[in-house]
Amino acid sequence: MFGYVIPDKDNMLIKDFNVFQAFYCGLCKALHETGSEVTRFCTNYDVTFYSVLMHEITKTPVKFERKLCVYNGRKKVIVEPDELSKKMADLAVLLVYYNIKDDVADGKELRAPLAWRLYLRKRKAAKNMPKIDALMRERFGLLARLEKEKCDSIDRVADTFASLMRDITRELIREDEESKLTKYTESNEQLVEPTKAKQTAEGCEDEESKLSKFAESNEQIVESTKAKQTVEDCEEETKSLTEDEKRDIDDFCYNLGRLVYLADAVDDVEKDSKKGTYNVLLLNYGECAKKADYLVKNADELSFLLKSTYNKMVGAYNRMNVNMYEGVLSNTVYLGIEMQIGRLLKGDEKCQITRL
């Protein structure tokens, strides 16, 4: 289920491409720092986009640094891994792990060794993000049951991954708000009462014997002012999202997850038909002897499935407050994903991937 959420490099401003590349390389770096060289293969464009999205939603600024790339031997500008980036690394590992397990259950036994090599890092990610790991186990387990039952409801099957993306985002937002609230509380406790310090300073006489006391009191006033400024900054950071904002984010992430599932089903329709593996589209529109003919025969239905979901996602995105990383996100939402939908419906052998 990877390779569908990518930017349109040809129509991307250089500054936006550099930001996306820095997030991509930063994810790779975070995966190495929190795991090993093996976990670098979990780096992908879909999670990179999601990392940019979460930094936007939580209004988290990033720092850039130059690091040597172990694969091409050149220094690259990357996003310095922060706490949210490390969570994205954990998320990438969990998504890849459960996706591999799902593939193995579908008969792709050759991918099993990848899951074994990733297992220890997956346990670490599950320990760091127990609620999100529980969500993935539940939804991928539900998907496996629906596949076993040969469920022919497109909405019901696609809802497993759609609701997963929505609920993961909800949990990450909740954790971010709790973290900022804790930071605000700690800063508030450190606030020195300005009036008390000021009264102490005013009570000092201009005598040489009391100059030191006056200086100490004056320093208290300065420190108190700095602490107050810190609290005011934290108050700004701790402003929670409104219910309308959260609803728009829910709609966007839900339809993004639904679109990814449907795109993967369209992409694999011929392969699944030949191997006899589950694909909800085959149960609704019949077997696929040749992909090109199948797409022509069911063009209206498949186009409606993908484009109606895409339009709902775009509608939600239009209502969201996006400004920090708008260039990267808008290029991917308006151009990149639409480009992938067009390629899928034309029957391209494989969705092309932008190489960074």
- Which pLDDT value is given to residue 231? 45
Mean pLDDT of all residues in 288-304: 93
DSSP characters for 95-137?
Answer: HHHHHHHHHHHTT-GGGHHHHHHHHHHHHHHHHHSHHHHHHHH
Consecutive H or E run containing 64: strand 64-68
Contacts of 75 (CB under 8 A, 6+ apart): 66, 67, 68, 69
CATH, range 9-175+241-346: 1.10.600.10
Q: In this structure, are residues 191 and 171 in contact, taking their beta carbons and an 8 Å threshold?
A: no
Mean pLDDT of all residues in 47-52: 96
One-letter identity of residue 101: K
The yes-or-no verdict on residue 216 having pLDDT over 80 is no
Contacts by residues 293-299 (CB-CB < 8 Å, ≥ 24 positions apart)? 294/269, 294/270, 295/266, 295/345, 295/346, 295/347, 299/345
CA torsion angle 2 268 278 169 (round to 10): 20
104 — pLDDT class (breaks 50, 70, 90): confident
- Across 1-5, 49-53, 71-75, 176-180, the highest mean pLDDT is recorded for 49-53
Tokens of 192: 């020195």
Give 290's DSSP letter. Answer: -
Per-chain mean pLDDT for the chain: 85
pLDDT in tens, 244-267: 999 999 999 999 999 999 999 999
Mean pLDDT of all residues in 215-231: 54
Mean pLDDT of all residues in 304-309: 96
Q: What is the pTM of this model?
A: 0.84
Q: Count other C-beta atoms under 10 Å from residue 113's C-beta.
A: 11
The yes-or-no verdict on residue 354 having pLDDT over 70 is no
Mean pLDDT of all residues in 32-54: 91
Per-domain boundaries in the chain:
9-175+241-346, 192-237
